[in-house]
């Protein structure tokens, strides 16, 4: 039987509508409009596209938003002083500094400079620590989106063996921490595989749920998964494709068609995890605004 398609675009739309209702309700009750400032350094076209989408999404749900664009030569000290100013700007409940940053700027220093109260990306060590404790303040957007996809499609991770492929700070580490917590929508047995893993297939074959976030095009093949597996593909990889008018095509970390033929459910690329990230950013921004008035 063909796999069920986990439609991230549809779930993201539902979450955006929920956030829009939440914003309206907060405005009516507390006269507070959630605000997000997005900082983009440099002119990477993919980052510029993401940032535009984030700004547009904020406007659609009724959040206040501003984008600060800085040249790629911006010194680290200047970015840090802008963040310091934004930390104290009451119009903004959330600050997002788009990654990656130019090489003269330390991503770690920038993340540490953010006020944890405004860390809607969930990447500050304080947010990471809270997540690890099981008392999350802000869950990073992509892991939060993955968890929502699983819950809303009825694939409760509780008691399941989840195999995460990839150990990045932005996806692999936080999703592993999120799904191992003794909480609703989690409580899974989690294995994390990475570039140091010997015999990856021996782990992925045991998985009830695979979260592929290794950044390696079509690396998860059909003979590496068991029948009935649920697949969450976080990969966004450009591969050459002369038949496409752009000359390239976007593929995930999973060899989609043959794996889909064995899976119970699978996220497409694009249209799976991708749209969820912005939806969760909006949700975190609403949460930050609620926290600023002592709620959430």
Find, among 257, 236, 258, the residue nearest to 248 by Cα. Answer: 236
Indicate the residue among 99 and 132 with the shorter CB distance to ligand GUN: 99
The one among 41, 57, 120, 141 contacting ligand GUN by CB under 6 A:
141
- C-alpha to C-alpha distance for 280 and 12, rounded to whole angstroms: 8
Catalytic-residue membership of 54: yes
- For ligand GUN, the binding residues in 159-218 under the rule CB under 6 A are 170
Question: Is residue 19 within the footprint of ligand GUN (CB under 6 A)?
Answer: no
Instruction: Tell me, letter by letter, the H, E, C secondary structure of 116-145.
Output: HHHCCCCCCHHHHHHHHHCCCCCCCHHHHH
Find, among 149, 139, 90, 121, the residue nearest to 267 by Cα. Answer: 149
Q: What would the two tokens of residue 23 be?
A: 């914003």
The one among 63, 97, 211, 259 contacting ligand GUN by CB under 6 A:
97
The one among 19, 96, 229, 231 contacting ligand GUN by CB under 6 A:
96
- C-alpha to C-alpha distance for 108 and 243, rounded to whole angstroms: 40
Candidates 97-105, 125-133, 233-241, 253-261 — which segment interacts with ligand GUN by CB under 6 A? Answer: 97-105
Q: What would the two tokens of residue 142 be?
A: 């992509």
Q: What would the two tokens of residue 169 be?
A: 């700070």
Catalytic-residue membership of 98: yes
CB of 209 vs ligand GUN, minimal distance in Å: 21
Catalytic-residue membership of 118: no
Indicate the residue among 84 and 295 with the shorter CB distance to ligand GUN: 84
* Overall residue count recorded for the chain in this entry: 296
- C-alpha to C-alpha distance for 3 and 175, rounded to whole angstroms: 23
Indicate the residue among 46 and 261 with the shorter CB distance to ligand GUN: 46
Indicate the residue among 27 and 169 with the shorter CB distance to ligand GUN: 169
Per-residue x/- track, 244-283, ligand GUN (CB under 6 A): ---------------------------------x------
Q: Where are the alpha helices (DSSP H) in 134-207?
A: 141-152, 172-180, 200-204
Indicate the residue among 92 and 203 with the shorter CB distance to ligand GUN: 92
Question: Is residue 40 within the footprint of ligand GUN (CB under 6 A)?
Answer: no
Q: Which residue is nearest to ligand GUN (CB)?
A: 99
CB of 171 vs ligand GUN, minimal distance in Å: 9
- Strands of the sheet containing 4-5, edge to edge, are 4-5, 265-266, 230-233, 209-212, 161-165, 189-193
Candidates 8-16, 95-103, 151-159, 181-189 — which segment interacts with ligand GUN by CB under 6 A? Answer: 95-103
Find, among 278, 280, 293, 289, the residue nearest to 56 by Cα. Answer: 278
Q: Is the dihedral of CA 74, 285, 118, 126 positive or negative?
A: negative
The one among 119, 121, 233, 253 contacting ligand GUN by CB under 6 A:
121
Q: Which of 118, 119, 121, 181 is catalytic?
A: 121
DSSP class of 3: P
Query: Which residues sit at the interface with ligand GUN, rule CB under 6 A?
Result: 96-99, 121, 141-142, 170, 277
Query: Which residues have a catalytic role annotated?
Result: 54, 98, 121
């Amino acid at each position: 039987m063909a796999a069920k398609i986990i439609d991230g675009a549809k779930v993201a739309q539902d979450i955006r509508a929920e956030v829009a209702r939440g914003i309206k309700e907060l405005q009516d009750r507390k006269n507070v409009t959630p605000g997000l400032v997005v900082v983009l350094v440099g002119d990477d076209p993919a980052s510029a596209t993401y940032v535009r989408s984030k700004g547009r999404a904020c406007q659609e749900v009724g959040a206040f938003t501003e984008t600060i664009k800085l040249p790629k030569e911006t010194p680290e000290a200047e970015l840090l002083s802008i963040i310091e100013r934004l930390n104290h700007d009451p119009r903004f409940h959330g600050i997002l500094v788009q990654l990656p940053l130019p090489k003269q700027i330390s991503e770690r220093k920038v993340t540490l400079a953010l006020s944890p109260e405004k860390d809607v990306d969930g990447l500050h060590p304080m947010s990471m620590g809270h997540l690890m404790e099981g008392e999350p303040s802000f869950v990073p957007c992509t892991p939060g989106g993955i968890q929502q996809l699983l819950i809303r499609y009825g694939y409760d991770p509780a008691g399941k063996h989840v195999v995460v492929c990839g150990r990045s700070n932005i996806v692999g580490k936080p999703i592993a921490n999120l799904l191992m917590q003794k909480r609703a929508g989690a409580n899974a047995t989690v294995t994390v595989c990475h570039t140091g893993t010997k015999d990856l297939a021996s782990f992925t074959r045991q998985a009830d749920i695979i979260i592929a976030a290794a950044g390696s095009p079509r690396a998860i093949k059909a003979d590496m998964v068991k029948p009935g597996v649920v697949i969450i593909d976080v990969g966004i990889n450009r591969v050459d494709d002369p038949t496409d008018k752009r000359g390239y095509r976007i593929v995930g970390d999973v060899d989609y068609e043959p794996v889909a033929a064995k899976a119970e459910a699978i996220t497409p690329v694009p249209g799976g995890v991708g749209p969820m990230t912005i939806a969760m950013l909006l949700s975190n921004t609403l949460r930050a605004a609620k926290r600023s008035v002592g709620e959430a």
